[in-house]
Structure 1
Amino acid sequence: MGSLSGSSPSHSVVEKALAAQLKSGDWEIDGRLLTIGEKIASGSCGDLYHGAYLGTNVAVKVLKSEHLNEALPVEFAQEVMILSKVRHRNVVRFIGACAKLSHLCIVTEYMPGGSLYDYLHRLHNVLELPLLLKFAIDVCNGMEYLHQNDIIHRDLKTANLLMDTENVVKVADFGVARFQSQGGKMTAETGTYRWMAPEVLNHRPYNQKADVFSFAIVLWELTTAKIPYEKKSPLQAALGVINEGLRPDLPNNVNPRISDLMQRCWEAEPNNRPSFTEIRLELEGILHKVQDEQVS
């Protein structure tokens, strides 16, 4: 294990820019007390590590040094600002951030269960209906809370849905999240192609209903334990969604109410998609019916 320390010439520029973006609050932690262990995952802008802070297991997102440019402080500040304002059972818990080190980093609770993506695709788990519904409801609870707090996630996918030891699923990775009322034009093609809504792919204005489309793909994935459009490249999948109205093939033998909900969530017209409150209530109704049938 090593601790984060040191400084670099490029970092001094970043630090000055950060000062303009963020007022240091109780989110700032002492990097000397943070230790970094094994790498858990790697992304385009940063790597995720298992670490320790004040004797607690944590996850540490370290932003890559080659990305220490003028845009990075804005993105870092945005992520810290959002994480510092949210607290919910189904949203990964923010512990703090370091803004005065050679590597900017964000520290969150460690999720030992890993991602839903790994649970489905690397461990090859096929979900029984009650567990599938429980996972989907967890995601809805987290997303409903975010949307009620003016946050659009913009990269909802199974790789960003993490599990704790109790199999509670939490929404994670707010690297491209933003406040919907922030103003300014939303960036097109934000997120991950296989889960991305057509309006985002198509460079059209979009809102929180783009997250609902992504949820439909997550729900399909939970139902099938398959990767969406697995025989196509991400770009081929994106072009299919834009040009042909492509959607994943509806699974056989799925609960018809889930199939119907999935299709309403991936409607081409965003206004026709339900809200996460409506989705949660419907999923809870399906779960109660399934549980009643198991008892009788």
Structure 2
Amino acid sequence: MGLVYKAKIVGQDKPQVVRVVKLTNIKDYVIEGILNEIRAQKDPELLPLTGFYYKQKSQTLYIVAPQRVSLHTYLFEASQTLSPKEKSTLVLNLARCLSSIHSSQSPAAHGHLTPHNILLNPIDLSICIGDYGLRSLKKYCKLFHGYRNRSEWSAPEVWQGADGDTEADVFSFGLMMWAVETGIQPFAGKKMDEVGYMLIEQKLRPQIPPATQANDLNLAQLIRACWHEVPERRPDFSTIVKILEQGVKFTQ
């Protein structure tokens, strides 16, 4: 949604990012709903916002937040090599974060989880979630700017036009768990329409390496359960957290 730029606040050292969204021909009640959703974002598991501003004359929304390292950058751009313990810590922290959000927020689901909106502290691998909520803004951008909430990290039902719900978040988490384990992006090199076809028509999922299955069958089974074709058969995050806390082994 919109464009994201690096920014700096005068008198402050911490780097920021600003999302700029042009809202053409928007009704006052719609923008008020969007601003109220932004004001309501106070959950400690969510990326804290530095501030926001709506310039009515140009109908432009500015959302400012601290610059953080995304899981995508950490895994795929920085080529970070993780130990089994670090993999386990990262995945468990993410599961706990999402479990907390699903149990405390309304609506509960993120709906478009990707490694780009999973923000982490590289030192202790603590997690916070970006791009959460803002349903009114996303609905507006979908209607007027062609915004789509699907990617290679999306569940099949989202590809088929459904709004992302808690079960879709679990599917995305399963793909991210697989990516943390393997260090590979799912469906790498495939075009988006190819990804949708593979997920829906061919019912394909990324291959779980034999080394992962040999190392810990429980991890392989948990990943498969998260991306089950039937959304209702996917575990919820409270169950996922319990399984991870009992100890699953990631590979070197």
TM-score, normalised via structure 1 length? 0.69
How far is the alpha carbon of 1:277 from its aligned partner? 1.2
Q: Which runs of 5+ in 1 are unaligned?
A: 1-43, 180-185, 291-296
1:81-230 to 2 correspondences below 5 Å: 81=37, 84-88=40-44, 90-100=45-55, 102=58, 103-111=60-68, 114-148=69-103, 149-150=105-106, 151-164=108-121, 166=123, 167-174=125-132, 178=135, 190-204=148-162, 207-230=165-188
- Show the counterpart of 1:280: 241
Q: Which moved more, 1:124-133 or 1:242-251?
A: 124-133
Distance in 1 separating the partners of 2:35 and 2:218 = 36
Q: Are the equivalent residues in 1 in contact too, given 2:114–2:172 (CA < 8 A)?
A: yes
SS at match of 2:128: strand
Relative contact order higher in (CA < 8 Å, ≥ 6 apart): 2
- Show the counterpart of 2:199: 241
Distance in 2 separating the partners of 1:133 and 1:79 = 37
Q: Are the equivalent residues in 2 in contact too, given 1:80–1:106 (CA < 8 A)?
A: no
Q: Which amino acid in the other structure matches residue 87 of structure 1? A: D
Q: Which moved more, 1:76-85 or 1:266-275?
A: 76-85
SS at match of 2:14: strand
SS at match of 1:253: helix
Percent identity, please. 22
- Show the counterpart of 1:267: 228
1:57 matched to 2:18? The reply is: no
Distance in 2 separating the partners of 1:270 and 1:63 = 34
Distance in 2 separating the partners of 1:119 and 1:130 = 16
- Show the counterpart of 1:182: none
Q: Are the equivalent residues in 2 in contact too, given 1:46–1:62 (CA < 8 A)?
A: yes
Structure 1 residues 140 and 261: alpha-carbon distance in aligned structure 2, compared to 1, 3 A threshold: same
TM-score, normalised via structure 2 length? 0.80
Q: Which amino acid in the other structure matches residue 63 of structure 1? A: V
How far is the alpha carbon of 1:199 from its aligned partner? 1.0
How far is the alpha carbon of 1:131 from its aligned partner? 0.9
**C-alpha deviations, 1:12-51, integer Å up to 9, x for none?**
xxxxxxxxxxxxxxxxxxxxxxxxxxxxxxxx52213232
Q: Which moved more, 1:153-162 or 1:136-145?
A: 136-145
Q: Which runs of 5+ in 2 are unaligned?
A: 137-141
Distance in 1 separating the partners of 2:39 and 2:232 = 28
How far is the alpha carbon of 1:250 from its aligned partner? 0.9
Count of matched residue pairs:
233
Larger radius of gyration: 1
Structure 1 residues 123 and 249: alpha-carbon distance in aligned structure 2, compared to 1, 3 A threshold: same
Distance in 2 separating the partners of 1:126 and 1:77 = 43
Distance in 1 separating the partners of 2:32 and 2:172 = 23
Q: Which amino acid in the other structure matches residue 84 of structure 1? A: A
**C-alpha deviations, 1:178-212, integer Å up to 9, x for none?**
49xxxxxx99x942320111111112466311111
Structure 1 residues 172 and 211: alpha-carbon distance in aligned structure 2, compared to 1, 3 A threshold: same
Q: Are the equivalent residues in 1 in contact too, given 2:111–2:164 (CA < 8 A)?
A: no
